[in-house]
Amino acid sequence: MKLKYLVRQSSIAALLTASLSAHAQIQLSCEMDWSALSALDMAEPDRLISGIRAGDWTKEHVDQMLQAEEECARSSNAPETLREARWISIQTQQYPNALRSLQARDQRIEREKAEILKADNSAQSDGASTPPIPQAQSDVPKHQLSPQPTLTVADAVKDSDLASKRNLWIALAAVGCVAGLAIWNKFVRNRCPSCSSTSYSRIDETELDRWRGTKQVSERNSRGTNTRHVQSTFVQLQFTYRCNHCQNEWVKLRKEELGTSSKIERFFAGF
């Protein structure tokens, strides 16, 4: 019974503390201590972190810090490379670490409450044949027994990791596109052989040769994919260009299947 009384008193104290801390405002700045948030699960509950008790921190507070960091990055006078590096570090490391620490703290609190309830139930079962477990559970506020905050933080950590991976793939795709365009412009793009200008006009297109040949095609059916050779007509074309800068003229030869070449194919081939 004494242990049950202590549980009631601790619950009342927790509710009073929560009602008082609800009016506390988080203190935001451009030099926020993310390392303190990464150790929330080991911090003393009464320790103040940015004006909020360690035991009162929620995902909403962490999101406010992330939003403040984004605003600071936009308004900072630091070099752009340093601002981007700090912002990427916060998004991919500091923010997920803070959410994991928040989740670990909530799980630890839930375990401690479960141990207290288990000890209380054991003490009551020793003095009565039917232990009043529902009564012991009803003495603890429902919002403290509910695991929903822990699940919410876990989902937030998972979403944050997925967002980080998605941003990384987008960045890699953008770098690949830029590198591909640079290679095409340097080694494939049609240029004047005399002055290397890319400003030119195609003044003539002549068919030099035509012949029958075969090509390999793939066909899908109910049994899978089959390949076979079919006959087709191929042509040898000669393109004549004139430079708009130095008036130099040059020719290029291209082999293609009759009636199948497109402007996109010729573009990537430098024609």
Length of the chain: 271
From first to last of the 271 residues of the chain, give the pLDDT tens digit.
Answer: 444 444 444 544 443 344 444 445 777 777 777 777 777 777 677 778 777 887 788 888 888 888 888 888 778 787 888 878 887 888 888 888 888 888 888 888 888 889 888 888 887 776 665 555 555 555 555 555 555 555 566 677 777 788 888 888 999 999 999 988 888 887 788 889 999 888 889 899 999 999 998 888 888 888 888 888 888 899 998 999 999 999 999 999 988 888 776 666 666 666 6
**What is the DSSP secondary-structure string of 75-88?**
H--S-HHHHHHHHH
Backbone angles phi, psi at 177, to 5 degrees: -65, -45
Residue-range domain boundaries for the chain? 2-161, 200-268
Q: How far apart are CA 182 and CA 226, in angstroms?
A: 38
Residue 235 vs residues 35, 106, 230, 267, 269: alpha-carbon distances, Å? 68, 73, 16, 18, 16
Whether the model pTM is above 0.95: no
